[in-house]
Amino acid sequence: MAAGCRGGADVTSWTSKLKGALLALVLPVALAGCGVNTIPTKEETAKARWADVQNDYQRRSDLIPNLVATVQGYAAQEKSVLVQVTQARASATQVKVDASTITDPAKMAAYSQAQNQLSGVLGHLLAITENYPDLKSNQNFLALQSQLEGTENRIAIARRDYNEAVRDYNTELHTFPGVLYAGTLYKNEKPIVPFEATDTAQTAPKVSFAPSTSQ
């Protein structure tokens, strides 16, 4: 009987271990099916969209020195505007917001303000070039104009996609079942700050230089 009892105990122990092993295999799959990975997945998507925003703003920043140099060659008297553009570009370049700080409202506000300021002075620069027909026909200027127009469109799309990813992620943090995981497994996750542009910055600077019909 004693041997039989021991045998039964061994079977019970083996069965318990098997159940534990099966639970260890099934539990991660079950949790994944319940959305345990949704928060980090949406967070990474938002970070990727933010990288797109930064890349497009950097592309615009890279175009500006050549644009300023070209305009200066035809409109040196517009020195104050050229200086403003150069200074605004420098300020915008100095403000850094990477994927680890997009949850900081103050840093995002500083970044947005710097980029909006640059958009404003850049728009002013492009507006005054209307007064210089020779500049508007310069091939280098026309190429820069085309690149800048495309970049501004890309910035607008990147901002929109980023804000949509942020909305999706922030909603997950505050709705069921995401709110359960946000309060347990992901306690340190914070809402991500959307990119907010001023009313004037929502519209890309005018970069069309079609000849006036009155000429």
Q: Which residues of 81-106 are buried (b: 16+ CB within 10 A; e: fewer)?
A: bbebbeebbeebeeeebeeeebeeee
Residue (of 132, 125, 44, 40) closest to 86 by Cα position: 125
pLDDT in tens, 37-54: 999 999 999 999 999 999
Are the beta carbons of 116 and 201 closer than 8 angstroms? Answer: yes
Among the CATH numbers 1.10.3720.10, 3.60.21.10, 3.50.50.60, 1.20.1440.20, which is that of 46-202?
1.20.1440.20
pLDDT of residue 71: 97
**Identity of the residue numbered 163:** N
pLDDT > 60? residue 70? yes
Tokens of 186: 């992901």
- What's the CA gap between 86 and 121, in Å, rounded? 9
Percent of the chain with pLDDT strictly greater than 90:
73
pLDDT of residue 6: 54
**Token pair 């997950």: residue:** 172
pLDDT in tens, 94-111: 999 999 899 999 999 999
Q: Is 145 exposed, middle or buried (0-12, 13-18, 19+ CB in 10 A)?
A: buried
- What's the CA gap between 102 and 193, in Å, rounded? 6
Residue (of 82, 111, 116, 124) closest to 200 by Cα position: 116
pLDDT in tens, 115-145: 999 999 999 999 999 999 999 999 999 999 9
Domain ranges within the chain, ordered by starting residue: 46-202
In the structure, what pLDDT confidence band is assigned to residue 19 with cuts at 50, 70 and 90?
A: low
Which uninterrupted H or E stretch holds 89? helix 79-94
